[in-house]
């Protein structure tokens, strides 16, 4: 234990020193490095293990946290992403869907209208499925695995639900913006989400106007996005923040509202985000101990600055990060250190992550975190097929629905829970075993191309270097015993993917 | 040998069916949680309050549309064909001004609060929900089974007692055969998930056996239920025979915008919920007499409509208590005249019937729990008997 603590303390000091790249370390064996990768990626891969063994953990992590080159996915994955309609810019895509909706609503024949409305709904659902497909392809094959996990984390933190209104058109764009900002500062993320039409619509802020207050977004902004429920705010603060947020809404058209000449200069439009001064409450606001002078859209920036720097935010979001990456009940001392780093670095996410990953608590927690459904499904497919790119993510989306953690499908703004209790119920375990069998027994639809009658031939190949070097040496005796009783490769795969060892990261 | 011990030995999957059956006369409890805070004032309508009609110019349910319950209250027409008949049979009661002392108006905070059922002050244990503690109090020496009909085990059922969970929307045949299940259970034998895994296999097998009859019924021309109604019917099949403590949640009640009145968004949801519960009552058959369904929600909504013909987060709600043995056909609990002066913080219904007191009183009647047992289920709370069962 002492050696471990020493070596991680050394790692910590090296990571803090950006100018001198740390030398490769050989402090850990391949099995321990695999566990480390299992925590920082969507499931360790042979390639990442080889890179860590060659360059050392620090160099691998630096490349993850400061990606310099444009990301390249394997060609077969990239081609699938490029073929998606959600690649189109958001505004024209939304307007095209709006036109389809209006055309359907305008039909006078009831049968034709019902049919057209159904088609519209199906088109929306198809777009959200495309976004899910892109998310899963990125999780499976992006070399920037830490960034992909952070993208998922931030979407969940700033959660929106795909089935509200037309959000199915928007979730892909919303997620892509979170991906780009996922390793930046918290303030950037907060500002981004506060102005994205998906959020403004999901939490009803587009309905929030002077004298017609809707406090839904204001409350969740304090409770879930920044300070946390015990973070020191009152009902009065919620109401005042709701006033600050008045006038910030969504405009899907090209039209501009009619304004009095004096208000023209205050109007702002950016994509579908609109600040409409005619709907804003220009009175002064008192919240969280400060006075916000009524001045229009800039009020919100003042409040977001305050919230992003607030010690309660630093602690609340650091704890949530540690809950996702370290333990259901993260060690308070670790959370405090992360929050301190947050305060010192103005909420720079990579700094907070470095403080976490370099900690002895992180190392000590490896292999003890129960995988949530997304980690389970993605890591199983990564293990089963490694570099052989799947041709259809549909089955994965279906498994995530069955396990209760489908992309963009958490209805409530709190996001999916991050602790084992939420995912390890008896019914959920049984479902996992059935999915283990599906993945372990054959191609499971993952290689079925749309329009073709059958799957292209594929079979899970788990016996690769990652398995022999990284996984086999640490399997529990009971797991070994079960694997030895397998009567076919299918059954062997099923048992491995169903084992307690594979349920944890 | 106790069934739980068998489960721990990993033998659960091979147990014969009848061991899992509940005693035929033991009371059944189904808690239905409406997540998102349903607007109680548009289900249980305060028809004698002129203030209600002033406060809701666009979304009030007109007195002529509401089904009269007593001098002060009417029922939403959306449940005319489902819950109102139960009311007329004396099998439905409503408890207005119900809820928690939590005034955070946060969905999640207040849902957690209710599900945990712990003291208002002090730190909370997120591994101990009140239905699990109830299972514990009732479970000694009995074959009681507790189950959540949800994808996840909700807070309300988490705790020391082993519970089952299985969503009943889509059900197929088990994909893992018995021998494979034994092998997999063997891998978990010495882990903290051991009883979870064996319990899960068994429940899966039982549920699919139970549901085998469904196909047959459908082929004989029974109306194919969908959505919540389908789930409610399946829940009834399990609760009739095996499960005595059940839980399900229904989402989508957060009507900030365009809530509607006698018809519209909320009415549609209430209609679907009501039909499901009526189907449940029907499917329970003779067991309906031993069954109590309690419908709860985390809080009520603002009494006045907001600027978007919807309602925002409020405080007091109205709970439903249904069952063949329920002393219904009445509005139960503490009441107050509905007017501006009696609103909580000049915006919401007050809470006059605290949920733990209400459930405590009900459990006393249903199960004959003593004070020590009640203190285990709801520490620090005192029960209030509303004579509901």
Q: Read out DSSP for A452-464?
A: -SSPPS------S
How many angstroms separate the CA atoms of B302 and B286, rounded? 40
CB contact under 8 A, A204 and B127: no
- Cβ <8 Å between A214 and B308: yes
- Residue to substitute from A205, A424, A430, interface B, most B β-carbons within 10 A: A430
**Whether B307 and A426 lie within 8 Å, measured CB to CB:** no
- Min distance A437 CA to chain B CA atoms (Å): 7
Contact B22, B238 (CB under 8 A): no
Q: Strand B164-165 to strand B146-148: parallel, antiparallel, or no bridges (unpaired)?
A: parallel
Residue A469, both tokens: 């070097």
- How many helices (H) and strands (E) in chain B? 11, 12
CB atoms within 10 A of CB B122: 9
Q: How far apart are CA A422 and CA A433, in angstroms?
A: 17
Report d(CA A221, CA A227) in Å as an integer: 8
Helices then strands (H, E): number in chain A? 25, 5
Q: Is residue B286 less than 8 Å (CB to CB) from chain A?
A: no
pTM: 0.81
* Closest alpha carbon to A158 in A408, A353, A401: A408
Q: Long-range pairs for A300-307 at CB < 8 Å and ≥24 separation?
A: A300/A194, A300/A244, A300/A245, A300/A248, A301/A191, A303/A241, A303/A244, A304/A187, A304/A190, A304/A191, A304/A194, A305/A187, A307/A190, A307/A221, A307/A222, A307/A226, A307/A227
**What Å distances lie between residue B58 and A502, B199, B309, B318, CA to CA?**
56, 51, 6, 21
Query: Quick one: which of A98, A5, A18 has its CA closest to A65?
Result: A18
Sign of CA dihedral B62, B64, B70, B71: positive
pLDDT at A72: 86
What kind and span of H or E run contains A267? none
Distance CA B71, CA B330 (A): 11
Do the beta carbons of residue B340 and residue B350 sit within 8 Å?
no
Phi/psi of residue A209, nearest 5 degrees: -140, 160
The model's pLDDT over A456-478, given as tens digits with 9 standing for 90+, comes to 989 999 988 899 999 999 999 99
Stretch 139-168 of chain B: residues touching chain A, C-beta under 8 Å: 148, 151-153, 158, 162-167
In the numeric block, the tokens 């996840």 are attached to B152
User: Tokens representing B167?
Assistant: 């969503």
Least confident of A262-276, B71-85, B221-235: B221-235
- What pLDDT, on the 0 to 100 scale, is given for residue A242? 97
Contact A237, A319 (CB under 8 A): no
ipTM of the prediction: 0.90
CB contact under 8 A, B176 and A433: yes
* Per-residue pLDDT, A109: 84
| Chain A touched by B308 (CB under 8 Å) | yes
Does the pLDDT at position B71 exceed 50? yes
Which positions 80-139 of B are in contact with A (Cβ < 8 Å)? 103-109, 126-127
Distance, in Å, from the CA atom of A165 to the CA atom of A170, rounded to the nearest integer, reads: 10
CA distance B22 to B142: 8
* Residue A362: exposure state from Cβ atoms within 10 A (0-12, 13-18, ≥19): buried
Question: Would you state the pLDDT for residue B217?
Answer: 63
Q: Name the strand (E) or helix (H) holding B30.
A: strand B28-34
In DSSP notation, B141-208 reads: TS---EEE-SSS--GGG-SSS--EE---SS----SS-HHHHHHHHHHTTTSTTHHHHHHHHHHHHHHH
pLDDT digits (tens, 9 = 90+) for A308-333: 999 999 999 999 999 999 999 999 99
Residue of A nearest to B126 (CA): A421
Across all residues in chain B, what is the average pLDDT?
A: 88
B183, A212: Cβ pair inside 8 Å?
no
pLDDT value of residue B11: 37
DSSP state of B225: P
Whether the predicted pLDDT of B308 surpasses 90: no
Report d(CA A467, CA A449) in Å as an integer: 29
The whole-angstrom separation of Cα A220 and Cα A235 is 12
Tens-place pLDDT, residues B194-218:
988 998 898 888 787 777 777 666 5
Q: What pLDDT score was predicted for residue B85? A: 98
Q: Which positions in chain B touch A281 (Cβ < 8 Å)? A: none
- B188 has a chain A CB within 8 A of its CB: yes
* Beta carbon pairs, A and B, within 8 Å: 144
Which of B127, B164, B308 minimises the CB distance to A427? B164
Q: What does the block give as tokens for A488?
A: 């076919």
Residues 6+ apart with CB under 8 A from A183: A65, A67, A146, A147, A150, A349, A350, A353
Q: What local confidence, expressed as pLDDT, does residue A290 receive?
A: 96
Question: What is the Cα gyration radius of chain A?
Answer: 24
CB-CB contact of B245 with B135 (8 Å)? yes
Buried b (16+ CB within 10 A) or exposed e, B66-79: bbebeebbbbbbbb
Residues of B in contact with A229 (CB under 8 A): 104, 106, 108-109
Q: Residue A225 gets which letter from DSSP?
A: I
pLDDT in tens, B140-191: 444 458 999 988 788 999 888 878 888 888 776 778 999 999 999 999 999 9
Asked if B308 and A421 come within 8 Å (Cβ–Cβ), the reply is no
Chain B contact set for A417 (CB, 8 A): 152
State residue B372 phi and psi, 5-degree precision.
-65, -40
Q: Picking from B75-84, B115-124, B339-348, which range would have the lowest pLDDT averaged per residue?
A: B115-124
Q: What is the pLDDT of residue B225?
A: 66
Interface check for B383 against chain A (CB to CB < 8 A): the answer is no
Alpha-carbon gap, residue A447 to A453, rounded angstroms:
11
For residue B123, is pLDDT > 90? no
B176 to chain A, closest Cα gap in Å: 6
Instruction: Provide the pairing of β-strand B164-165 with B245-250.
Output: unpaired
Nearest residue of chain B to residue A480 (CA atoms): B187
Q: Which residues pair with B297 in a beta bridge?
A: B34
Contact check, Cβ <8 Å, A207/B307: yes
> Whole-angstrom Cα distance, residue B257 to residue A274?
19
Spell out, as residue ranges, where chain A has pLDDT lower than 70: 1-26, 67-68
For A256, the token pair is 């501009």
- Extended strands (E) in B236-338: 245-250, 291-297, 317-322, 330-331
| pLDDT band at residue B222 under the 50/70/90 scheme | low
Chain A within 8 Å of B203 (Cβ-Cβ)? yes
Q: Which of B68, B117, B118, B108 is nearest to B88 (CA)?
A: B68
d(CA B179, CA B185): 10
SS3 state at B329: coil
| Residue A24: predicted pLDDT | 46
- Which site among B7, B147, B187 would you substitute to test the A interface, given the most A Cβ atoms closer than 10 Å to its Cβ? B187
Sheet holding A273-275, edge to edge: A248-250, A273-275, A268-270
Does the CB of B187 have a partner CB in chain A at under 8 Å? yes
């Amino acid at each position: 234990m002492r050696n471990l603590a020493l070596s991680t303390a050394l790692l910590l000091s090296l990571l803090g020193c950006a100018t001198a790249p740390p030398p490769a370390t050989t402090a850990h064996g391949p099995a321990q490095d695999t566990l480390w990768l299992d925590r920082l990626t969507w499931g360790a891969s042979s390639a990442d293990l080889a890179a860590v063994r060659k360059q050392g953990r620090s160099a691998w992590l630096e490349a993850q946290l400061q990606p310099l080159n444009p990301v390249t996915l394997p060609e077969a994955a990239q081609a699938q992403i490029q073929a998606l309609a959600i690649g189109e810019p958001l505004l024209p895509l939304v307007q095209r869907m709006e036109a389809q909706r209006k055309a359907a609503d305008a039909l006078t024949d009831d049968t034709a209208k019902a049919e057209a409305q159904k088609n519209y709904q199906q088109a929306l659902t198809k777009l959200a499925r495309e976004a899910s497909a892109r998310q899963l392809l990125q999780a499976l094959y992006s070399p920037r695995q830490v960034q992909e996990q952070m993208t998922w984390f931030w979407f969940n933190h700033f959660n929106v639900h795909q089935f509200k209104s037309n959000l199915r058109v928007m979730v892909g764009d919303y997620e892509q913006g979170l991906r780009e900002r996922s390793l930046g500062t918290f303030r950037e993320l907060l500002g981004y989400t506060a102005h994205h039409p998906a959020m403004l619509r999901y939490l009803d802020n587009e309905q929030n106007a002077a004298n017609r207050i809707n406090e839904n977004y204001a409350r969740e902004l304090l409770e879930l996005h920044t300070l946390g429920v015990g973070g020191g705010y009152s009902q009065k603060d919620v109401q005042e923040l709701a006033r600050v947020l008045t006038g910030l809404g969504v405009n899907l058209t090209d039209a501009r509202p009619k304004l009095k000449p004096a208000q023209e200069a205050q109007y702002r439009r950016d994509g579908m985000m609109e600040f409409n001064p005619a709907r804003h409450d220009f009175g002064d606001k008192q919240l969280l101990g400060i006075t916000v002078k009524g001045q229009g859209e800039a009020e919100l920036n003042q409040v977001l600055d305050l919230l992003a720097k607030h010690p309660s935010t630093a602690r609340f979001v650091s704890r949530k990060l540690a809950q996702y990456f370290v333990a259901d009940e993260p060690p308070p001392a670790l959370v405090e250190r992360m929050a301190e780093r947050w305060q010192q670095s103005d909420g720079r996410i990579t700094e907070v992550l470095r403080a976490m990953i370099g900690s002895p608590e992180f190392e000590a927690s490896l292999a003890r975190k129960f995988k949530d459904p997304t980690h389970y499904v993605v890591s199983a497919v990564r293990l089963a097929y490694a570099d052989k790119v799947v041709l259809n993510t549909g089955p994965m989306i279906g498994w995530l629905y069955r396990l209760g953690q489908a992309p963009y499908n958490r209805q409530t703004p709190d996001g999916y829970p991050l602790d084992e209790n939420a995912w390890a119920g008896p019914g959920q375990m049984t479902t996992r075993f059935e999915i283990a069998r599906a993945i372990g027994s054959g191609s499971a639809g993952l290689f079925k191309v749309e329009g073709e009658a059958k799957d292209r031939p594929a079979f899970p190949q788990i016996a690769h270097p990652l398995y022999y070097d990284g996984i086999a040496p640490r399997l529990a005796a009971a797991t070994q015993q079960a694997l030895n009783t397998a009567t076919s490769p299918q059954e062997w795969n099923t048992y491995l993917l169903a084992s307690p060892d594979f349920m944890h990261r | 040998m106790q069934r739980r011990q068998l489960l721990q030995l990993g033998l659960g999957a091979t147990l014969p069916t009848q061991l899992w059956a509940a005693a035929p006369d033991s009371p059944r409890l189904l808690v239905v949680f409406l997540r998102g805070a349903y607007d109680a004032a548009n289900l249980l309508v305060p028809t004698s309050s002129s203030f209600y009609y002033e406060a809701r110019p666009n979304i009030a349910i007109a007195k002529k549309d509401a089904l009269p319950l007593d001098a002060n209250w009417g029922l939403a027409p959306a449940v005319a064909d489902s819950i109102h008949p139960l009311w007329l049979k004396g099998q439905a009661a409503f408890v207005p001004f119900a809820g928690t002392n939590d005034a955070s108006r946060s969905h999640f905070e207040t849902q957690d609060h209710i599900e945990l059922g712990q003291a208002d002050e002090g730190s909370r244990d997120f591994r101990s929900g009140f239905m699990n503690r109830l299972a514990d109090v009732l479970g000694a020496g009995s074959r009681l089974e507790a189950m959540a009909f949800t994808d996840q085990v909700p807070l309300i059922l988490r705790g020391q007692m082993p519970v089952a969970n299985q969503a009943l929307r889509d059900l197929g045949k088990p994909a893992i055969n018995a021998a494979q299940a034994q092998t997999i259970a063997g891998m978990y034998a010495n882990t903290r998930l051991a009883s979870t895994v064996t319990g899960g296999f068994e429940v899966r097998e039982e549920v699919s056996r139970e549901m085998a009859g469904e196909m047959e019924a459908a082929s004989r021309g029974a109306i194919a239920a969908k959505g919540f109604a389908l789930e409610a019917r399946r829940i009834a099949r399990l609760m009739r025979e095996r499960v005595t403590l059940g839980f399900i949640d229904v989402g989508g009640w957060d009507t900030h915008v365009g809530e509607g009145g006698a018809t519209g968004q909320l009415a549609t949801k209430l209609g679907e919920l009501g039909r499901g519960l009526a189907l449940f009552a029907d499917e329970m058959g003779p067991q309906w007499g031993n069954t109590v369904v309690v419908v709860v929600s985390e809080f009520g909504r603002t009494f006045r409509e907001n600027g978007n013909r919807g309602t925002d987060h409020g405080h007091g709600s109205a709970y439903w208590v249904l069952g063949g043995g329920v002393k219904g056909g009445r509005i139960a609990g503490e009441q107050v005249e509905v007017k501006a002066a009696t609103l909580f913080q000049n915006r919401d219904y007050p809470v006059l019937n605290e949920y733990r007191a209400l459930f405590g009183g009900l459990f006393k009647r249903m199960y004959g729990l003593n004070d020590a047992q009640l203190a285990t289920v709801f520490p620090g709370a005192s029960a209030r008997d509303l004579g509901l069962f």
